[in-house]
Amino acid sequence: MIKTKTSDDKLDTLLSRSVVPIIDLAHCGIEEIPVKSVVNRVGHQLHRVLAEKGMALLVNHGISDEKLKTAWDHLDDFVDLPPNVKQHYIRSEGNHHGYKSRELNGNFKGKTPELRHAFNISTLNAQNLPEEPLPGFADHISTLANDFKALACFILQALAVSLDISPTFFLEKHSHMLSDDQENMSTLRMLYYPPVVDDEPGQNNVIERRCQYSYQRCLSNQPDFRPEHDPREEDELNELDGTNGQLFEHKIGNGAVIRCGAHVDYGTFTLLAQDSEGGLEMKLPGSEKWHRVGHLPGAILLNCGEILSIWTQGRYPALQHRVVIPEQEHIRARGRHSIAYFCHPDNITSISPNDLPNPDAVKDTACLKQRKKSFKAAKERVYNACQLISKKFRDTYSNNNHSQ
């Protein structure tokens, strides 16, 4: 059962409005060996849901809301540290682990700055975590990262069931996640998008704004699948940035900012926990329209990455997504928090569309375009996961605004 304070009738109506199918993981056992019957049930649900929608909202997954909120508190405390302390944890060129924020005054080579603080955790080695300035940080985040890893392992097994292949096929290819040996790029990313408030002209200090998670107004622990949350007409919304890949910008001071530019995730899949502030939008398979994902308290969003799309020959599509800045002033004046776990195969895993038995013949023309794209990436040459992900990083840095 989904735990919520909403009455059953109201909940049914809200859930029926969600563009994202909901999958109940009750008894998935992230702390023990998963129950086989649950793996099978979830596998069968994923088979349909990922092919049709490319994503699912996971409920009763075993990671408590309190744990997520405490992690966001730790991130807020980190963001508040003096710059010379934060400096020690900054992500260096070519490294996935570490903290990164984009200051408004920086040099963006003509790109629109993404207004967010991101702390990537790809090693649980305490040396690389801000334990000294923030006692408790390393312990809490390591436990949380291991919970996400366990959930990812469960999903990897269910995915194998969903594709009717050996139950350990994916698990074996992800055996080094978070193992400190540089053999796998899986990452837990903690994200904070500061409030967007117009500054005095010329001030541009918006990135500094603080919004302590526990004090902010995302206490409404209610599902939110309102389709018309944004006052802009949908056509206008899509015209602004949907069809031609441009990014939704917010003008502030002399410049423009975005929260997270349109992109697809690179790896096998992503698990995403968000607070209730909203802003996440996805393009559904075969569609050029942006859809609000909405909010279900405590749920974790599962979305496919490009590698899974290649493996499944596009059957499980990697969806474009972005985080927009709310149009309403009082909503964008609040910060937003999320946590993403990027599940990546071990670096040396070769990624080829021929690794899996060919799924059903292509029937859906809407998916054809996506399949062609995935084939193009994988046909010319078989890359291993490390090459593929590094190539995507390079392309992203040189071509568009989103920095993964």
Ligand X SMILES: O=C(O)CCC(=O)C(=O)O
295 binds, among ligand X, Fe ion, none (CB under 5 to 8 A by kind): none
Sole binder of ligand X in the list 59, 260, 296, 325 (CB under 6 A): 260
Sole binder of ligand X in the list 70, 157, 268, 338 (CB under 6 A): 338
Cβ 170 to ligand X, closest distance in Å?
21
Residue 87 burial (CB count, 10 A): 10
Residue 401 interacts with ligand X (CB under 6 A)?
Answer: no
Pattern 303-332, binding to ligand X, x per CB under 6 A? Answer: ------------------x-x---------
Tokens, residue 382: 């078989």
Residue 281 interacts with Fe ion (CB under 5 A)?
Answer: no
Residue 306 interacts with Fe ion (CB under 5 A)?
Answer: no
Tell me whether residue 265 or residue 277 sits nearer to Fe ion (CB atom): 265
CA dist., res. 151 & res. 156, Å (int): 9
Q: Residue with structure tokens 């059962």?
A: 1
Residue 247 interacts with ligand X (CB under 6 A)?
Answer: no
Cβ 286 to Fe ion, closest distance in Å?
20
Q: Which stretch binds Fe ion (CB under 5 A): 56-64, 112-120, 240-248, 265-273?
A: 265-273
Instruction: Give the DSSP letter of residue 292.
Output: E
Residues 185-224 touching ligand X, rule: CB under 6 A, are 189, 191
Tell me whether residue 274 or residue 349 sits nearer to ligand X (CB atom): 274
Tokens, residue 388: 């593929």
CA–CA distances in Å: residue 224 to residues 49, 323, 404: 21, 16, 27
Closest CA to 198 of 330, 83, 106, 101: 330
Tell me whether residue 86 or residue 189 sits nearer to ligand X (CB atom): 189
CA dist., res. 55 & res. 374, Å (int): 17
CA dist., res. 162 & res. 251, Å (int): 45
* 392: Cα within 13 Å, side-chain hemisphere: 22
Q: How far is CA 347 from the centre of its chain?
A: 20
Residue 328 burial (CB count, 10 A): 10
Sole binder of ligand X in the list 68, 104, 272, 319 (CB under 6 A): 272
What residue ranges bind Fe ion (CB under 5 A)? 265
What residue ranges bind ligand X (CB under 6 A)? 189, 191, 260, 265, 272, 274, 280, 321, 323, 338, 340, 404
